[in-house]
Amino acid sequence: MKIAALGYQHVVADLLWIQVIQAKGERKVTEEAGHWIYRALDIITTLDPKFVRVYEVGGIALTTLVVHIDESNRILEKGIQHNPDVWRLPFLLGFNYYFELHDDAKAADYIAKASRLPGAPEYLASFATRLYVSAREPQVAIDFLAQMYEQTSDENIKRILERRLKEVVVERDLQLLEEAISRYRERYNRAPERLEDLVTSGLLRSLPREPFGGRYLYDPQTQTVRSSDMKERLKVYGKRRPR
């Protein structure tokens, strides 16, 4: 294909990119379409190795619209090889290692690498440090997702990231409520009868607002808390979805 496109690499790359955009714009991207997207991305970036947006959007699409983590990593690594000064590419690789592969140390390495490149936001250096120290705290995941949300303009991907962000916010809130219930029990030698007791006792300033528009439900018998809008609690942030 490279020979056939000799002298027209950028034109062919642009045409293929339009097809990729159309494919990922489908409401449901099939497994087969996901593999096609990867192959197209690989061809595009071979024809035009400096087409940075292809690496960025393609890398995100392969982990959100479909679950092809290894292929996403290969595209991003290829992008870094040909565009070593673009900070967003190692940042996206760090995202994959944190949320999908659960390798916090490697995620921190890539974020630290991104922080040293031209144009990188100042917060990346301190964020990398936080990843090394406390990677599994919900607030770290929330900050990571918020930054990813700001990075992309694709509405489909934004919608997926927004839901994932809300799921982690729920987990953070549940942990906050559980800790307050435990302190209430230590102080009064009994469990609270309702969540509002945590506020009237001064343990919390206010009850957190459930991000999906539901409520946090408390069972005084089991002393457990759950969201009315989430069937299952998020056990691990960025839990890898089954293929």
pLDDT on residue 21 = 54
Q: How far apart are alpha carbons 13 and 31 in whole angstroms?
A: 23
Q: How far apart are alpha carbons 93 and 169 in whole angstroms?
A: 23
Query: Domains in the chain and their CATH numbers?
Result: 1-83 (1.25.40), 136-243 (no CATH)
Predicted structure pTM score: 0.73
Q: What is the pLDDT along the chain (243 residues), one digit of tens a residue?
A: 444 443 434 544 454 555 555 555 554 556 777 788 888 889 889 988 998 988 998 898 888 877 789 999 999 999 999 999 999 999 999 999 998 898 988 999 999 999 999 999 988 888 888 888 776 788 888 888 888 888 787 787 788 889 989 999 999 999 999 999 999 999 999 999 999 999 999 999 999 999 999 999 999 999 999 999 998 887 654 443 333
Nearest to 44 by CA among 19, 16, 25: 16
pLDDT on residue 24 = 52
pLDDT on residue 231 = 83
Nearest to 58 by CA among 50, 46, 49, 71: 71
pLDDT on residue 164 = 87
Residue identified by tokens 């974020």 is: 111
pLDDT on residue 93 = 96
Contact call for residues 92 and 125 (beta carbons, < 8 A): no
pLDDT on residue 131 = 85
pLDDT on residue 22 = 55
pLDDT on residue 238 = 42
Q: What type of residue is 88? A: R
